[in-house]
Amino acid sequence: MIRLYDTLEREKRTFEPGDPKRITMYVCGPTVYGRAHIGNARPAVVFDTLARLIRHHYGADSLTYARNVTDVDDKIIAAAEAEQVDPAVITARYENFYLEDMRALGVRDPDIAPHATAEIGAMVAMIGALIGKGNAYAADGHVLFEVASDPDYGSFSRRHRDAMIAGARVEVAPYKRDPADFILWKPSADGVIGWDSPWGRGRPGWHIECSAMIREHLGETIDIHGGGLDLIFPHHENEMAQSRCAHGGKALARYWAHNGFVDMGADKMSKSLGNVIGVDELLAAGHRGETLRLALLSSHYRSPLPWTGKLVAQSKATLDGLYRVARDAAAGAVDDGVIAALSDDLNTPLAMARLGAIGDASALKASAQMLGLLTMDADAWFRGGDSEGIEALMEARAVAKARRDFAEADRIRDALTSEGVLLEDGPGGTTWRRG
């Protein structure tokens, strides 16, 4: 039995999928115009872990997990203009980087990765349906969702109307009947990416993308809708309203799950604040994907996660300890305590504490792999991949020592230490390990 905190109901609820043989989960994916930072990686790792748990309980084929790729957006258009290339060049580049970075963190690819630009027909159809039902209107080449037509609008974020208007950060455009109305379709100028539609050549708004793709790939009501906490308003409020109105009042999702932010001191990590650390930068600095994954899972997913060098160092030390116990044992049965912790609203800190208490190597291996950890050979973990370069430096250090150039020998040792490589001089010669 899995219990999950439902952001809509504001309480932990027992997870009861519509059909346990065909469970559906949708997570809002990346807008692909730049490298992912470690805050962007948190939802990918959290929902990957939830997907592993669901498959453990219900079977490997029980879950269809969709994560979309937003590949049409004003920021993408701006990036393409800045480089004088087609937007598809930008989106292909950064989608590949995103997948590369997430795979390095042990995130399995979702079952379905719908791309907005490939699903315009479904969006146009849903917008048409919303106009037909009196929930949307066309004006000046735009189509807007009419918030006043939906009495339940605002029920998710529980915002007052004034806060919703301020939160939407809208300029009150002349074509809007109400400042809170939001865009479903907007016109594209000549030379800007766009598609023909009944309302003229243009492109979809962001919110309609998810509603239409969920309907297309997973159905009208899905089991779990996930994303970062910052998406509750306006994105998920709007997705929910569109889908509910288009589908005769049916709920978009049975459970809504949201992860907290990764923060840097007092501030949320975000591109607009300029305080981001790229996943690629952390990997290039020599941190392993598993270390970063464990760091991301070290706090409960709904709590804020302060990102510090100390957290990364502690995560590395924890993994060193686990690898020392598990070594190269074959994976056995998963520990019940780890499953119980994860099944209680994905309590990964408790699951980690349980891992640390498992003495049996094969049980530890299997339980850690549920969390996407201990996936490397222990030897490769401790020695690292770049042993040739290290051995060349050790050889140079031996030569320096032989000619009694101890300053040079120490310099080489210090350089290796600063890269996390520890040398141990013994009677049989010098060996090395990762510190």
Closest to Zn ion by CB, 73 or 335 = 73
Closest to Zn ion by CB, 28 or 339 = 28
- Report the nearest approach of Zn ion to the CB of residue 102 (Å): 17
Closest to Zn ion by CB, 28 or 144 = 28
Burial 82-100 (b: 16+ CB within 10 A, else e): eeeeebeebbebbbebbbe
Distance CA 197, CA 59 (A): 42
- Report the nearest approach of Zn ion to the CB of residue 324 (Å): 42
- Report the nearest approach of Zn ion to the CB of residue 111 (Å): 17
In sign, the C-alpha dihedral spanning 173, 178, 182, 187 is negative
- Report the nearest approach of Zn ion to the CB of residue 235 (Å): 5
- Report the nearest approach of Zn ion to the CB of residue 143 (Å): 18
Counts of helices then strands in the chain (DSSP H, E): 16, 15
For residues 335 and 354, the answer to whether their CB atoms sit within 8 Å is yes
Q: Among all chains, which residue has been given the structure tokens 């459970």?
A: 255
Closest to Zn ion by CB, 219 or 349 = 219
- Report the nearest approach of Zn ion to the CB of residue 209 (Å): 7
Closest to Zn ion by CB, 136 or 264 = 136
- Report the nearest approach of Zn ion to the CB of residue 65 (Å): 14
Q: Please report the DSSP string for 215-283 in residue order.
A: HHHT-SSEEEEEEEGGGIIIIIHHHHHHHHHHTTT--SEEEEEEE--EEETTEE--GGGT---BHHHHH
114: left (phi over 0), alpha (psi -120 to 50) or beta: beta
Q: Which residues bind Zn ion (CB under 5 A)?
A: 28, 210
Closest to Zn ion by CB, 28 or 319 = 28
Q: Nearest-CB residue to Zn ion?
A: 210
Instruction: From residue 390, give the alpha-carbon distance in Å to each of 6, 355, 430, 431, 433.
Output: 50, 32, 12, 11, 10
- Report the nearest approach of Zn ion to the CB of residue 435 (Å): 42
For residues 306 and 266, the answer to whether their CB atoms sit within 8 Å is no
- Report the nearest approach of Zn ion to the CB of residue 239 (Å): 6
Closest to Zn ion by CB, 28 or 322 = 28
Distance CA 47, CA 59 (A): 17
Distance CA 126, CA 216 (A): 10
Which among 133, 138, 137 has a CA at the least distance from the CA of 244? 133
Closest to Zn ion by CB, 214 or 297 = 214
Closest to Zn ion by CB, 239 or 290 = 239
Residue type, 408: E
Measured in whole angstroms, the distance separating CA 261 from the mean position of its chain's CA atoms is 11
Residue 326: Cβ within 10 Å count: 25
